[in-house]
Amino acid sequence: MIARCQRLATFTEEPGRTTRTFLSPPMRDCHREIAEWIRPLGAEIKIDAVGNLRARYAGADPMAPRLLVGSHLDTVPDAGPFDGVLGVVLGLALLELLQGERLPFGIEVIGFSEEEGVRFGMPFIGSGALVGTIDEEMLEKQDRRGVSVRAAIEDFGLNPSDIPDARLTDDILGYIEFHIEQGPVLEELGLPLAAVETIAGQTRLEVIFVGRANHAGTTPMRLRRDAIAGAAEWITAVEREGNRVSGLVATIGAIHAKPGAANVIPGEAHLTLDLRHAVNEVRLTAVDTLIRSGEEIAAHRGLSLRHSILMNQPSVLMNSQFVGYVGEAIRRTGCKPHRMASGAGHDAMVLAEKIPTAMMFLRTPGGISHHPEETVNIEDVEKALEAGMNLLKLIASSPALKQQRVQRA
């Protein structure tokens, strides 16, 4: 599995580093390689209209409901080999371990074509097709070269008119996503695996401090209306709030001064703020607190403040029954069934709106992700595979499966 992830990392848009965005040419190579691994397993392979790779392994009854297992195949620029990809490869490994055995449900392994939002500035095109959120406005979004989502789909040899065919049908049992944690929590706890019970909500803002540009050498300090100085004071307030509120993470990710000359007092300071918390009310309260703080700092310094919300994603609870299955599957490996929140967004948060969904995290050594040094422990991958097989057995005997059989009958 690790070797396969490293193999897929060689399919890249940029020599010497792994970058694979939505329906770029390396994605075709990725599909071709994965298809070679799937063919001996007795699964039906297709690429849907947004480029999701879908491998269907039928159950003992061809009409039985399907369990979806997967993650994404696209990457950030200069990525590591495991983010997203490991979840797809692990799904295929589960099919291999079945050795032709047919379960009371089918399994569909999905490699989503897009989750990161790199090429078009919006994430979840792949999973969005399954829940029906791909609309005409989204199809007309353009990348930096002026290529629209629609054109990218057509250039890949797919038909945008077929996107409705990718939607979830009523024979889906649920969705399980295996994913590296992308953080240091499990390593700090000394645990290899965890069940994710919620995915944190996220608010992203642009904040602009507006002062007055003036000559850096002739304007006394007491007469300045320095936008970047106001922004600097506010940045420390953001850090204090992040440390004060348990579970809150607050990040100033980008800063830009205008006019941006060494000998000019900045008249404007543009910043981005990313706030995340598992509880929506806590996150939204922090947003209000920090905006008020920025306004007070601006008023004290003779500045003004403007802000706009770029994204406001509520937190998403995983299905309690499926989270319980994941926890029990982990416990049966001999590991502590730890539960935690995910601070990062995942395809699971999109599918959770429509079907029962849960995630299993694997420890990330050093907490490093979205970086070439991203790695995994081979023993943790082995435990995840063991837990995955336990999970299939638990779902095979679950009330959820029995209930769906009765409904379909």
Domain boundaries, the chain: 2-199+315-408, 201-313
CATH topology for the 2-199+315-408 domain: Aminopeptidase (3.40.630)
Q: Are 108 and 67 in contact (CB under 8 A)?
A: yes
- Residue 102 has what pLDDT? 96
Residues with pLDDT less than 70, the chain? 400, 402-409
Task: Name the pTM for this structure.
Answer: 0.87
Give the per-residue pLDDT at 180.
98
CA distance 154 to 148: 10
* Right CATH for 201-313 from 3.30.70.360, 3.30.70.2390, 3.20.130.10, 3.40.50.720: 3.30.70.360
Contact call for residues 111 and 73 (beta carbons, < 8 A): yes
Dist CA 62 CA 397 (whole Å) = 18
CA distances from 287 to 224, 244, 290, 345 (A): 28, 14, 5, 19
DSSP single-letter state for residue 72: E
Residue 408: what pLDDT?
Answer: 57
Beta-sheet pairing, 264-265 with 193-199:
unpaired
Q: Give the pLDDT of residue 405.
A: 60
As beta bridge partners, residue 154 has none
Cβ atoms within 10 A of the Cβ of 21, count?
21
